[in-house]
Structure 1
Amino acid sequence: MTETKGSDKLELIATKSFAPYPEMYKVVDFLNRTLKEKQVIFGLTKDEDGSMTISIYET
């Protein structure tokens, strides 16, 4: 899967769904700040059934 934002392309590397964890956004923020120089971006979504999905993208 490739998403286009202007001339930037994000390639989806992996996704993983899990039970809700209220502070998971802090983990994703930490990973994004720490690994931004490694050309990786993490995303977090909450699904309709209440589960959470973390996505890893390569820029």
Structure 2
Amino acid sequence: MKRSKRDKELTDTITQLTLHAEPNTESLEAIHESDAFFARGNPGRFDNAADLIDAALKASEV
């Protein structure tokens, strides 16, 4: 099957996200928590992406 025909078939299968005008309670809580975290000026748990990846590789699977 030609790629362009396959792409056209897949185009109609992509799920469209419905954006809401207002965030829900859980989203608002997460926004407030992240705003507070950044306002404190604390460094993140990992200094760089390599440390994050290393920790993820060492973590046991959930």
Quickly name the TM-score band, shorter chain normalised.
Answer: under 0.3
Name the structure where helix makes up a greater proportion of residues.
2
Point out the structure with the larger strand share: 1
Query: Highest CA radius of gyration, 1 or 2?
Result: 2
Q: Which has the higher contact order (CA 8 A, sep 6+)?
A: 1
